[in-house]
Amino acid sequence: MSLYSLQEVRQVFEDRTVLDIDNLEMTAGGSYALLGPNGSGKTTLLHVLAFLRPPSSGVIYFQGQKVEWRDSVLTGLRRKVVLVDQHPIMFSTTVLKNVEYGPRMRGVSARERRKAAEECLERVGMSAFAHRPAHLLSGGETQRVAIARAMACRPEVMLFDEPTASVDVENQAVIDGVIRQLRKDKGVNGRISIIFSTHKPLEASRLAQERIFLFEGRLTGPGGENLLSCDIVQGGGGAVCVVGDNVALPVQTSRSGPGRVFIKPELIGLFPLDAAHEETTEQGHVGEILQMTAEGPNIKVLLDIGVPLRTLLSKDEARHLDAMVGEKVRVRIDPEAIELA
């Protein structure tokens, strides 16, 4: 069953296009991670999906029905979809009354809403805080209460904007577990749908069935992590695309000026660094390993070659490389890996 269908959706603020989506489909009961750098449009997309802000143009279908941006229609839709902000605001009352707020606004009896609130607080590990002032909680505690408050509304869709970005490790683990459990929950019309934004690829892999990459408001596909702004320069040896800290990549094009380049991660090779060559040469670039994480059967490596770059290695390739975080390696980018977007 279709959950959302976005067609030719654009969002423009002060003559600046912040969202530009030709087509996006999401299935009911699924879990989706929105990935992309700051300013890529993740939060704007969440606000549109939560029916908090109409797009400047385009059509959105929700559960197979075209969305009409009228108050009489939106009230019903907003009862089905709840957004947990990255920095949620608590009312100046107790934690319990904060969590009861949604059911109370929906006309649920005092007895039933208290029961629902207590159950949701237990699920996020905040039962002991029920009668404490909510506005005095820490950032991580506030986020957990905000999730409980959203759960108490019994939504069909839960949206999260960077749910673990501003919390400590202990609260991250709790929130992670809550989202994983929510994926198994049954709502009014089947399994609850989960959509969240994140900067953390590993978090996306753990918590989402599908990942959606955004860059400058546009969908970029699975290579979104290596989609970079560049300056195309023509020279005697052909065109180069300059990214980051003067990193020049050869491209096949006759145009010049600003552009975007996509570097396929699977066509980026890593090799032990020759101690005699510490500078970037025709053999490739020198890069520092910033992070190595397991992702399925592969190892994802985050590099700094003057610009952040991600590549995937098999576990055998990683063992052969024999390099650790903080060490330098030779980075060779296959010419076929470089595509102008």
Q: Do 282 and 152 lie in a common domain?
A: no
pLDDT at 159: 98
Q: Which residue has the tokens 């978090």?
A: 203
pLDDT at 134: 96
Q: Do 256 and 234 lie in a common domain?
A: yes
Q: Decide which of 192, 220, 248 is a domain's last residue.
A: 220
Tell me the pTM. Answer: 0.73
Q: Do 297 and 258 lie in a common domain?
A: yes
Q: Do 301 and 161 lie in a common domain?
A: no
Q: What is the CATH number of the domain that holds 290?
A: 2.40.50.100
Per DSSP, what are the bridge partners of residue 31?
194
Residues whose CB is less than 8 angstroms from the CB of residue 109 and which lie 6 or more positions away in sequence, other chains included: none
Number of domains comprising the chain: 2
Q: Do 175 and 269 lie in a common domain?
A: no
Six token digits for residue 207: 């918590």
Q: Do 177 and 258 lie in a common domain?
A: no
Q: Do 131 and 63 lie in a common domain?
A: yes
| Centroid of chain to Cα 276 | 41
Q: Do 56 and 83 lie in a common domain?
A: yes
Q: Do 61 and 139 lie in a common domain?
A: yes
What's the CA gap between 63 and 5, in Å, rounded?
8
pLDDT (tens place) for every residue of the chain, 341 residues total: 899 999 999 999 988 999 999 899 999 999 999 988 788 899 999 999 999 999 999 999 999 999 999 999 999 999 999 999 999 999 999 999 999 999 999 999 999 999 999 999 999 999 999 999 999 999 999 999 999 999 999 999 999 999 998 889 999 999 999 999 998 887 655 689 999 999 887 788 889 988 888 878 888 755 456 878 889 999 888 899 998 878 888 888 988 998 888 888 888 999 988 644 444 445 578 999 998 888 778 888 988 998 888 888 899 999 989 999 999 999 999 888 888 86
Six token digits for residue 328: 């330098």
Do 175 and 144 meet the contact criterion of CB atoms below 8 Å apart? yes
pLDDT at 189: 59
User: Distances in Å between the alpha carbon of 295 and those of 24, 162, 201?
Assistant: 25, 20, 9
Residues whose CB is less than 8 angstroms from the CB of residue 141 and which lie 6 or more positions away in sequence, other chains included: 126, 129, 171
Can you state the angle between helices 139-151 and 169-182, rounded to 10 degrees?
10
Closest Cα to residue 124, out of 185, 197, 176?
176
HEC secondary structure over the chain: CEEEEEEEEEEEECCEEEEEEEEEEEECCCEEEEECCCCCCHHHHHHHHCCCCCCCEEEEEECCEECCCCHHHHHHHHCCEEEECCCCCCCCCEHHHHHHHHHHHCCCCHHHHHHHHHHHHHHCCCHHHCCCEHHHCCHHHHHHHHHHHHHCCCCCEEEEECCCCCCCHHHHHHHHHHHHHHCCCEECCEECEEEEEECCHHHHHHHCCEEEEEECCEECHHHHHHEEEEEEEEECCEEEEEECCCEEEEECCCCCEEEEEEECHHHEEEEECCCCCCCCECCEEEEEEEEEEEECCEEEEEEECCCEEEEEEEHHHHHHHCCCCCCEEEEEECHHHEEEC
Q: Decide which of 220, 253, 288 is a domain's last residue.
A: 220
Indicate the burial class of 325 (C-beta count within 10 angstroms; 0-12, 13-18, 19 or more): exposed
Q: Decide which of 220, 253, 282 is a domain's last residue.
A: 220
Q: What are phi and psi of 283, to 5 degrees?
A: -75, -10
pLDDT at 224: 55
What's the CA gap between 305 and 244, in Å, rounded?
9
What's the CA gap between 126 and 76, in Å, rounded?
29
Q: What is the CATH number of the domain that holds 71?
A: 3.40.50.300
Residue type (1 letter), 49 = L
What's the CA gap between 320 and 217, in Å, rounded?
39
Q: Do 243 and 151 lie in a common domain?
A: no
Residues whose CB is less than 8 angstroms from the CB of residue 316 and which lie 6 or more positions away in sequence, other chains included: none
pLDDT at 261: 85
Structural domain range at position 234: 227-340
Q: Do 246 and 108 lie in a common domain?
A: no
Q: Do 211 and 232 lie in a common domain?
A: no
| Centroid of chain to Cα 288 | 25
